[in-house]
Amino acid sequence: MRSISAILQSDFLTKEDIIALLTTEGEDKKLLFETSSRIKKQYVDDIVYFRGLIEFSNVCDKNCFYCGIRKDNVKIKRYNLSDEEIVNAAVFAWKNRYASIVMQSGELTGSTFVNRIDKLLKTIHQRTNRELHVTLSCGEQNKETYRRWMESGAHRYLLRIESSNPELYKKLHPDDEKHRFENRIKALRALQDTGYQTGTGIMIGLPFQTLEDLANDLLFMRDFDIDMVGMGPYIEHRDTPLYQYKDQLLSVDERFQLTLKMVAILRIMMKDINIASATALQAIDKIGREKAIKIGANVIMPNITPGKYRDDYKLYENKPCTDENAEDCSNCLEARIAMAENEVALGEWGDSLHFRMRNTK
Task: For residue range 6-59, list pLDDT tens digits in order.
Answer: 999 998 999 999 999 999 999 999 999 999 999 999 999 999 999 999 999 999
Q: What is the mean pLDDT of the chain?
A: 94
pLDDT at 337: 87
Q: What is the pLDDT of residues 188-224, one digit of tens each?
A: 999 999 999 999 999 999 999 999 999 999 999 999 9
Global confidence as pTM = 0.95
CA 186 vs CA 104, 180, 190, 217, 321: distances in Å: 20, 10, 6, 17, 34
Mean pLDDT of 137-163: 98
What is the CATH architecture of 4-358?
Answer: Alpha-Beta Barrel (3.20)
Residue 6 CA to residue 177 CA, distance in Å, equals 45
Residue 355 CA to residue 352 CA, distance in Å, equals 5
Nearest to 55 by CA among 129, 106, 117: 106
pLDDT at 332: 74
pLDDT at 361: 58
- With H, G, I as helix, E, B as strand and everything else as coil, classify residue 104: strand
Pairing of strands 197-200, 154-158: parallel
Q: What is the pLDDT of residues 120-135, one digit of tens each?
A: 999 999 999 999 999 9
Task: Answer with the residue of higher pLDDT: 356 or 261.
Answer: 261
Q: Torsion over CA of 103, 101, 134 and 318, rounded to 10 degrees?
A: -30
Q: What is the pLDDT of residues 292-336, one digit of tens each?
A: 999 999 999 999 998 788 777 877 666 665 555 666 566 677 777
- Whether 91 has a pLDDT exceeding 90, the answer reads yes
pLDDT at 11: 85
- With H, G, I as helix, E, B as strand and everything else as coil, classify residue 291: helix
Angle between helices 252-269 and 211-224 (to 10 degrees): 30
- Whether 248 has a pLDDT exceeding 70, the answer reads yes
pLDDT at 137: 98
CA atoms within 13 A on the CB side of 202: 26
